[in-house]
Structure 1
Amino acid sequence: MPSVDVLDEIFLAVPPASVAAVFADPLAWRRFWPDLRLEVYADRGAEGLRWTVGGALVGTQEVWLEPMLDGTLLHYFLRADPPPGGTVRPGEAQRRQLAAKRVGFALKARLEAGRAPGCPPPGAD
């Protein structure tokens, strides 16, 4: 079992393609996870991305975008260990869990901005 095993989910009232466009930008990865080096090993388009992780942690990370109702359920997974010879700081898993929540809620605020409650997201048919 990895030293850091994070699973998070958040619903975004926008189409999966809108969320995928954010994660398609490698500059966004540096903002979201500044201490991790990510390399895509599976680009699933509107279904998300899978990365190998290097830097502060070594392992895998995934953003899976699942169409749900009139939006997207964003699933986030991080499974990693310290780099060779390193150790995991106390509280690292919780720190990564809180960081995942911050990313999810920031995307929710940005992508849902201007949408009236109870109304479908822009681009929904």
Structure 2
Amino acid sequence: MKLWGVTSIQVADQTFVAAAPGSAADVVGDKASWRRWWPDLRLEVVEDRGAQGVRWKISGPVTGTMEIWCESVLDGFVLHYFLHAEPVEALPADPGALMDLLADLNKARRVAGKIMSFEVKDRLERGREVGSPATPWSGAA
């Protein structure tokens, strides 16, 4: 059973990063990190928005779209992560097996997104004491 107009894998997540919004571009735009964060996906940049993030068309075991949007909030930014995709492999006909598989695929993509967002947060907040102002932007992350 498939709902029309809704992708099987839907991820929407957000993480506050206490760092200057301008610092996001170097970390989020680092192609070497993309390979580490999503080793099984082929990413085609659809829109590079610098400090505001990146949008991709994705292919591999799943196909669809993915986005990191960095929204300025207070003295930092909220890193939004979105993924909308369909598995490439044939899906089981049994409704129970289908729901189990889709739940597993969604969880795996959510975990990958959280690993990415926590790495961005860790890199950009490095050296910042809890409760202190956001890490300023030095021009390189």
Q: TM-score, normalised by structure 1?
A: 0.89
**Percent of aligned pairs sharing the same letter:** 46
Residues 32-41 or 109-118, more deviating: 109-118
Residues 74-83 or 87-96, more deviating: 87-96
Tell me which amino acid in the other structure corresponds to 2:40: D
Alignment counterpart, residue 76 of structure 2, candidates 71, 74, 90 = 71
- Equivalent position SS for 2:19: coil
Tell me which amino acid in the other structure corresponds to 1:36: L
Matched, 1:11 2:16: yes
Alignment of 1:46-125 (within 5 A): 46-83=51-88, 85-87=89-91, 90=101, 91-123=104-136
Which 5+ residue runs of structure 2 have no aligned equivalent? 1-5, 92-97
Q: Distance in 2 between matches of 1:30 and 1:41?
A: 17
Answer with 1 or 2: which has the greater Rg: 2
The alignment of Structure 1 onto Structure 2 pairs a total of residues equal to 123
Q: Distance in 2 between matches of 1:99 and 1:3?
A: 17
Structure with higher strand content: 1
- RMSD, matched Cα: 1.7
Answer yes or no: is the 8 Å Cα contact 2:19–2:124 preserved in 1: yes
Q: Distance in 1 between matches of 2:51 and 2:108?
A: 28
Alpha-carbon offset, residue 96 of structure 1:
1.1
Answer yes or no: is the 8 Å Cα contact 2:24–2:52 preserved in 1: no
Q: TM-score, normalised by structure 2?
A: 0.80
Alignment of 1:32-43 (within 5 A): 32-43=37-48
Which 5+ residue runs of structure 1 have no aligned equivalent? none
Encode CA deviations 1:32-69: one digit per residue, 9 max, x unaligned. 11111000011111111100001111000000000001
Tell me which amino acid in the other structure corresponds to 1:73: V
